[in-house]
Amino acid sequence: MHAVGTALYVSGGTLYVDGDLTVDGDATTGDALIAAGGTLNLGTAAANLRTQSFQMNGTLSGNSASTVTVSGGSITGSSAITIPGNLTLSGNASLGQSVTVTTVTAIGTNQLTLGGNTLTLASSSTAAITKSGAGGVISESSTLASKLAWAIGTTNGTYAFPLITSGGGDVTVTMVTSGGLDIGTASVATYASNSANSPKPTGITHVSGVSDQVVDRYWELFRTAATQNPDVTLKYVDGEIPSNGGEASMVAQSANTGSNVWYDGSTTAPSGQSANAGANTVTITAFSRFGSPLTMSNGGGAGALGAAPLPVELTHFSASCTDGQVTINWTTATETDNHGFEIERSLDGQSNFAMVASQYLQEYESNSTVPKSYMAIDPSPLGGTSYYRLKQIDNNGATEYFDPVPVSCGGVTGFDITSIITNGDEQSIGVVFNTDEDEIVYYTLIDYRGQRIAEQSINAKAGTNQVIISTATVNKGIYLFSIKNKQKTVTDKVVLQ
């Protein structure tokens, strides 16, 4: 099939090509273009290929003046794809495979989601990717595998990697190259973390219990040639600012997992930094820490993430159910000024964690440079699936939480209360109960005079359920919690201290 100098138009359907197709003019498909094999040649003229989704299982060829426009679908294929010319977005799109293009233009307000893949710009021009609106490229993968790469080489200039958050916030990374030195292909990956700075990059166990001083974002920069150390500017959004503020003293810090530090004042820290609180940026002069995860801290200047080794380097954490009880095991590689650990449990892994076990250390046990293993038991686990997490406590009172792990222990055993969890701040209680079937149940919380403090009907699901009751305005004392279905009423005591 060969369309020369004219338009190829498919309205409201898919163009499926299982041989060779050459387009020297315009080609438009309504839904998708699927090149199952053969060669799709964009010709010798400035051909324009417009499609909603683009699947390339064969070979794509053409000239650098051609354009592929994707209007709101995915770009995918059986292997990495090279688009010989320009990629344009006329709607939000995503990558299902790594893609190399000469340039990307006319992003506008559209978003291109990398999805764990790499988008490589083959042109060294500073205008190889441009945008005129609020759109951009979404990295946002906690594996730092979603990369925007640029074949800069020895070209001097200001290179703006137009990254945005999943919500459209501007997190552009800028590199300024100079001196004609070679950087090869430079690439950038970034993602937002939660307020506890999780999930963390591979090899990073925690951030020394100073989450309130750390930006809720990680970066990693890469290069293929090591003679160029560009000036780098990292940008974050307002919602990622540390809870203690302090943007004016913000500094970028890089991880050195080999020596268990984020910053030691010399080899692991980006130096020559300046913060711009109004622009939400930190600029690093002559950046060289490629291939190391980065974040930012405002905890009193450089080294705020810990000039000493990380308090605890966790290498293993697991929970398993045997004979009706949960065994929790964890191992540390090193410990510094460690006061001990607490094990917390939650029904959903997101909220209402309550301590079920603890192991505190004597002062002489606080430091270790050899692996140490620990074990704790929860003798009364919840039925069904629940979540356990490790809380580490420093000698100075600082704490760090490690990501929770799920464990299933037993099934439903009739209508009964499994546990009552009193949160440490005494602002609420959580009551966990089991039921054999989907049904409406009714609960009450009663004080010693028989007055009802709380009551409600809820739609319970077969299995494990949880009720959260606010106790922020309830006096300390002993209360009775009752819950009933059509056949049974069960009651348990609640103590608010």
Is-cis flag, bond preceding 242, omega within 30?
A: no
- What's residue 301's pLDDT? 40
300 confidence band (pLDDT: 50, 70, 90)? very low
Same topology, domains 312-404 and 416-496? Answer is yes
Which tens digits make up the pLDDT trace of 40-49? 777 655 667 7
Which tens digits make up the pLDDT trace of 125-162? 999 998 778 899 999 998 899 999 999 999 999 999 99
343 confidence band (pLDDT: 50, 70, 90)? very high
Asked whether the beta carbons of 489 and 459 are under 8 A apart, the reply is no
Spell 19-31 as b/e; 16+ CB within 10 A means b: ebbbbbebbbbbb
Q: What is the maximum span of the chain, computed from C-alpha positions, in angstroms?
A: 90
* Average pLDDT for the chain: 81
Look up residue 137 and give its amino acid: V
Task: Report residue 247 as tokens.
Answer: 């943007």
Which tens digits make up the pLDDT trace of 376-397? 999 888 877 888 999 988 887 8
Strand partners, 378: 326
CA distances from 298 to 238, 251, 274 (A): 14, 6, 12
Asked whether the beta carbons of 33 and 49 are under 8 A apart, the reply is yes
3-state secondary structure 215-277: CCEEEEEECCCCCCCCEEEEECCHHHCCCCCCHHHCEEEECECCCCECCCCCCCCCCCEEEEC
Say whether pLDDT at 13 is over 50.
no
Structural domain boundaries in the chain: 2-297, 312-404, 416-496
The CA-to-CA distance between both ends of the chain, in Å, stands at 81
Which tens digits make up the pLDDT trace of 160-198? 999 999 889 999 999 999 999 999 999 999 999 988 788
| CATH pick for 312-404 out of 2.70.98.20, 2.60.40.10, 3.60.70.12, 3.10.20.30 | 2.60.40.10
Helix (H) / strand (E) containing 434: strand 428-435
Distance CA 163, CA 174 (A): 10
The hierarchical CATH code for the domain 416-496 is 2.60.40.2550
Task: Report residue 272 as tokens.
Answer: 């020559």
